[in-house]
Amino acid sequence: MIGVHGMDVDGLLGRDGELARLRDVAEGVGAGRGRALLVMGAPGVGKSALVRAARPAGMPLLEVAGVESEIDLAFAGLAALLDPVRGHLEALPDPQRRALRAALDGAPDLADGALVLHAVVALLTAAASTGPLWLEVDDVQWLDPSSRQAVAFVARRAARIGLGLVVVRSVRGEEPADGWPDVEVLAVGELPRDASLALARRGGLPDAVAEELVEAVGGNALALAEAPALLAPAERDGRVALPAPVPVGDRLRRAYAGRLGELPERTREALLLAALSRDGAAATLAAALGGMDAFGPAEDAGLVVVGGRGVRFRHPIVRAVVEGIASADGRRAAHRALAAAADGPERVWHLAAAAQGPDEDLAAGLAELGGDAQRRGAPASAAMAFARAAALSPDPAAAAARTVAAASLEIVAGRPGQARRLLDDVLTSVTDPLVRADIQLLRGTAIQQSGRPMAAFALLEREAERVLPHDAARAAGLLTQAGVALFAHGPVERLAALAERALALVPPQARLVPAVLHASALTSLGEHERARALLRAPEARLDVLDPTGPGHEILTVVALCHLWMEDHEDAERLLGWLVETVRERGGIVPLAFPLAVLATVHLRRGAFAEASALCAEGLALGEDAVGGFLHSLTLVAAAFVAAHVGDGAACVEHAERARALALRLDLTSTLACAEQALGFLALGRGDAPTAVAHLERAMEHTRRFGSRDPSFLYTHGDLIEAYVRVGRTRDAEELTQELADGTARTGGAWAAAAAARCRALLDGDERLDGHVRAALAAHARVTLPFEQARTQLVLGERLRRARRRADARAVLAAAHEAFTALGAGHWAARAAHELEACGARPTVGAATDGPLTPREREVCALVAGGATNREVAATLFMSPRTVEHHLRLAYRKLGVRSRTELTSRWGPELSSR
């Protein structure tokens, strides 16, 4: 069996470890354990041959190879990969089927890219339902951006789908070798010396020449396999020294050019057509050439492989050389020939590549393709189409408009640097202040996305001042976007002032976004009543926003305000509706933010399993799909969940990744969250010095962010406790006073409870009872099971130190039971230790005291009336899993074990209230 690059893949040399790793993946897939592997290395080290050698026999294979081409059609690579399993499209739900069919057929459709990605997963799941499936993607760096995103999306879900996916990516020396988040990487380096010598000898070289070749080219498998055939006879047998340099790199390109020059002219022309075609498809090439015979000499020379589906170059270097040695006129002629043989979008691309000057018809055709790609959720491909359309536009105004359209799509595609380059070119020729303001709005957004929020803020605020005399509404839009730039960076006071000014400039129908930004700033500043008034104002109607459309983030910001203000019912109702709606519509980016915030709501309310599931769903979306900021929010939510349940490894991993993103993107609030999670983990483990170090950094970041609401991250309560445990009493007292001031400012229940428990740690025994009563009374105002158990643990420890062991036993038993029920085993162990110190043994299983929350009562009333969990979820705008969580808590409080018992014992009382 001869593999790519002419290497014998049945006898690969020096690759035992890599082969074992790949074959382990294949064996696991054969046994039903899906897995993805990203194979990375420099060009020519033998990655493709390695993958082919490990390919499992008898397993259905889907494969595609990216090609470096000027033509970039949205989802072209994905269409080639999925072609063998298109028969499973009929098994998909109608919206997914229509969206994916439109993407694969290159037909315009209103389905967005998120729906396409979910449909790809559904299609592969259906295809893998009857047995294991093996996918290979070679040279993924050359796939069109939409297909590359889809492959990454599938890779993170390979285990769930139950398939094997091996992705090959070439990385040159100057490029970063970063993998994909959550996807296993196999790094392939150069061959060791003994394997390199053996490979050189396979080319017929005597030992002395083989050693000389290895010294010259190292362990590059391609060079070692190809160079012997490119040497002169005297060089091969050692009578003449090897050329300097040996044919590798640029010299190898020149050697290939020499081999191409020996081919018939018609064959060279055919190779150029294949190199410039989108995928080397036989039908198109045969139509352009009048048959496939012209490729025979090139195939005999080992430069291409001709099969039933078309022509494949042996190596990307060959394709690049074919394109490189052709003249500009020759390339244009080849594009014209391909255009004559193609139809639809491919024809337009080739005609555009062949154009020698402005052409409005072609520009309009490309712009239409860009619009189609945009509607099909392929923003990177759409941006390329609009940029090329701009280059062919004879009218400067049309060229500028198309360039701006390309830049806006580059922002959507997550390529802010490219967006800025496009906008910078246009800005120099713009004189209209309104057009300039629109361009600057996009530039500011791109700068913010690239990780420079304060630079974006300065630009947007400055441009708002410039356009204000001409258009107040545009100025308000710029100020609002400047506020968005400050949202995760701060300072919050500046955000409040900015949003307030934008509110003063916009008409009532446009007040929603600046009003919500203002409310979020006021909430962080502790001015909760002013924030509530803004959110309840008539113009703050959330039903005007599409959960998956532009500005969808504002809905989650509203929920975040409710979370900080302890209006948990409102937050959960809004977020539950958001998540379910976006899931149904197949959204990805619009799903990330509400998932992270809803996970935090569930965490604070004690639903750890629900919070963990939401975080897992959010993490699976991936940074490449949702962007660094939204992914960082999911990471910190996951870190907090892990810290609460005592999973130290997961907490550290998520927090460190979030911190790296925050440093890269200058996200002050995310830095605070990451440090808080690590500090809380250390506190739960009893490592107070480490907790102090992390929590002090969290407090520093929070102060820089500008939040004055103690419930922003709960840092005060944790740091005060850590200070007490390391003997820094004065620092604890100062921070307790700050916490008390924040409590007075916000009126928050958690802050009041935390202040009371911290005073209990610091005050004398004679004031202990007052602090106990105050803390428990505050906890009765809001459902925070974990924090209430924390307070009970602290109070129990304090009562034991005051030698009131009987009183201590009661609150410690309650804390132990709550921690155990929540799944916080390390905290339960601390409570058990304290109980044993009081002479008691911990017990588990008693019903939990306390009244039902309003939401628990609503759920129970509907269940007692005969509603199913799904019907309750639909009525109360929450997920069925959330309904189940509320029922579990209510069952414990009511002392019942089933729906029947709930209905018979409590049905009349529940229905009467």
Indicate whether 848 pLDDT > 60.
no
Indicate whether 450 pLDDT > 80.
no
What single DSSP character describes residue 308? Answer: S
Indicate whether 602 pLDDT > 90.
yes
Looking at every residue in the chain, the average pLDDT score rounds to 85
Indicate whether 575 pLDDT > 70.
yes
Give the per-residue pLDDT at 490: 86
Q: How far apart are CA 674 and CA 405, in angstroms?
A: 37
Peptide bond before residue 491 is cis, with ω within 30 degrees of 0: yes
User: 62, 85 in Cβ contact below 8 A?
Assistant: yes
Indicate whether 250 pLDDT > 70.
no
Give the per-residue pLDDT at 753: 94
Q: What is the pLDDT of residues 121-173, one digit of tens each?
A: 989 999 998 889 999 999 888 888 788 888 988 998 898 899 999 999 987 54
Sequential DSSP letters for 593-648: HHHHHHHHHHHHTT-HHHHHHHHHHHHHH-HHHH-HHHHHHHHHHHHHHHHHHT-H
CB-based contacts of 557: which residues, under 8 Å, 6+ apart? 487, 516, 517, 520
Q: What is the pLDDT of residues 695-746, one digit of tens each?
A: 999 999 999 999 999 988 899 999 999 999 999 999 999 999 999 999 999 9
Q: Which residue has the higher pLDDT, 233 or 773?
A: 773
| Region of poorest pLDDT, from 271-285, 500-514, 866-880 | 866-880
| Radius of gyration of the CA atoms of the chain, in A | 32
Indicate whether 279 pLDDT > 80.
no
User: 511, 551 in Cβ contact below 8 A?
Assistant: no
Q: How far apart are CA 258 and CA 128, in angstroms?
A: 46
Indicate whether 248 pLDDT > 70.
no
Largest CA distance in the chain: 104
CB-based contacts of 741: which residues, under 8 Å, 6+ apart? none
Q: How far apart are CA 703 and CA 708, in angstroms?
A: 8
Q: How far apart are CA 825 and CA 643, in angstroms?
A: 11
What single DSSP character describes residue 244? Answer: S
Q: What is the mean pLDDT of residues 477-499?
A: 89
Q: Which residue has the higher pLDDT, 180 or 332?
A: 332
Q: Which two tokens stand for residue 457?
A: 């803020």
Give the per-residue pLDDT at 247: 56
Give the per-residue pLDDT at 549: 66
Q: Which residues on adjacent β-strands are paired with residue 619?
A: none
Q: How far apart are CA 535 and CA 558, in angstroms?
A: 8
Indicate whether 410 pLDDT > 90.
no
pLDDT-based confidence at 72, cuts 50/70/90? low
Q: Which residues on adjacent β-strands are paired with residue 864?
A: none
pLDDT-based confidence at 175, cuts 50/70/90? very low
CA dihedral 148, 153, 154, 157 (to 10 degrees): 160
Give the per-residue pLDDT at 867: 82
Indicate whether 304 pLDDT > 80.
yes
3-state secondary structure of 157: coil
User: 134-138 and 164-170 as β-strands: parallel, antiparallel, unpaired?
Assistant: parallel
Q: Which residue has the higher pLDDT, 67 or 361?
A: 361
Q: What is the pLDDT of residues 537-567, one digit of tens each?
A: 876 678 777 787 667 888 999 999 999 999 9
